[in-house]
Amino acid sequence: MIIKKKEHWFRMLFVWHGSVLPRLLPRLLLLLLFSAVIVYLRGTIFSFKVPLNPAPFTLFGFVLALFLGFRNSASYDRFWEGRKLWGALLNHTRSLARQALTLGNTATSDASAFIQLLSAFPYALKHQLRGTDPRKDLETRLPEQQLNLVMTAQYKPVILTKLMATWVQQKRQENHIDSLQQARFDENLDKLEEVVGGCERIISTPLPYSYRVLLHRTVYIYCFLLPFGLVDSLGWFTPFIVAFIGYTFVAFEAIADEIEEPFGTEANDLALNAMCRMINHTIFELAGLPTATDEKSGHHIID
């Protein structure tokens, strides 16, 4: 994710990195070239003058903008839900760390095993959502026996919650905590699993494919028919106006596609690496354990 300081309005016109323009540039150049050919031919194809005028494009463009706005709203809802789930994950891990350190007569040295499991949880969830290998992150946080158990599982975050629940059960059997305190642990462990389920719901339930295809086709058909409606009134200004209008519509679609799945590694996806580091830092600080300070510096953050 890219986080930038507020730019001057004039500099914002030329922002390149973090925008969708680099991905769209080949398509926009194709549209510009196509429009230039239409102007050169004066809207005529094989001696047939395409009888289009700007009026229907105005009405249809308004309706298309409404549908694209709805698509972007639906995609942003998914992005924001993902952000709220990871914000809740930060709160729940803090609560569990505090409970492990303060409830009952559990020593900090005994709680460190629970803290290690808790620190591995966000990394396991991040890799599950991104479909990447978590071994490098988990092997520095888990002992070998637990690492092997987690790595053989398909749903690694759920196995980690089971290991944390086992730790709580062991402390209950050793009379370090009572049944009421155990129930409070279980409540927060249940909330961790709710976060996992919410993230999996976003990943496994994309927007309906037929809806995406319909909007995609409509946007490009509109853009490639637009030069025929403007050529008689705008002349050689047509390619530039068409490219600008095309940029607006195609960029809306590209942004919606990018934020629809917020857990990826694109520029505008959620900064899961930074969130994992924040969670680890705060729970290690609560436990009085050494914390790594590997935050990135600079004008923006991509993580």
The conformation of residue 174, written as its DSSP 8-state character, comes to T
DSSP-derived secondary structure for 24-75: HHHHHHHHHHHHHHHHHTTTEETTEE----HHHHHHHHHHHHHHHHHHHHHH
Strands (E), the chain: 44-45, 48-49
Task: Report whether 172 contacts 182 (CB < 8 A).
Answer: yes
Of the two residues 188 and 289, the one the predictor is more confident about is: 188
pLDDT at site 131:
93
pLDDT in tens, 22-51: 889 999 999 999 999 999 888 787 777 778
Q: Which residues pair with 204 in a beta bridge?
A: none
Of all residues in the chain, what percent carry a pLDDT higher than 90?
54
Spatial separation of the C-alpha atoms in residues 168 and 182, rounded to whole Å = 7
pLDDT at residue 296 above 50? no
Q: Which residues pair with 45 in a beta bridge?
A: 48
Angle between helices 54-102 and 179-204 (to 10 degrees): 160
Of the two residues 292 and 184, the one the predictor is more confident about is: 184
CA 264 to chain centre: 5
The arithmetic mean of pLDDT across residues 68-78, rounded, is 91
pLDDT at residue 289 above 70? yes
**Residue given tokens 């706005």 in the structure block:** 69
pLDDT in tens, 105-127: 655 557 889 999 999 999 999 99
Tokens of 93: 């891990």
Spatial separation of the C-alpha atoms in residues 238 and 57, rounded to whole Å = 14
Spatial separation of the C-alpha atoms in residues 278 and 87, rounded to whole Å = 11
pLDDT in tens, 229-273: 888 888 899 999 999 999 999 998 888 888 899 998 888 889 999
pLDDT in tens, 131-187: 999 999 999 999 999 999 999 999 999 999 999 999 999 999 988 888 999 999 999
Confidence bin at 2 (pLDDT 50/70/90): low
Spatial separation of the C-alpha atoms in residues 105 and 294, rounded to whole Å = 34
pLDDT at residue 193 above 90? yes
Q: Which long-range contacts (CB under 8 A, 24 or more apart) does 201-207 make?
A: 202/78, 202/81, 202/82, 202/261, 202/262, 202/263, 203/129, 203/261, 203/263, 206/260, 206/261, 207/71, 207/74, 207/75, 207/260
pLDDT at site 94:
95
- When mean pLDDT is compared across 55-64, 73-82, 139-148, the lowest value belongs to 55-64
In the chain, how long is the greatest CA-to-CA distance?
Answer: 92
Domain edges within the chain: 9-287
Spatial separation of the C-alpha atoms in residues 207 and 197, rounded to whole Å = 18
pLDDT at site 63:
87
Spatial separation of the C-alpha atoms in residues 8 and 13, rounded to whole Å = 9
pLDDT at site 1:
62
CA distances from 77 to 28, 85, 111, 248 (A): 28, 12, 38, 21
Spatial separation of the C-alpha atoms in residues 185 and 92, rounded to whole Å = 10
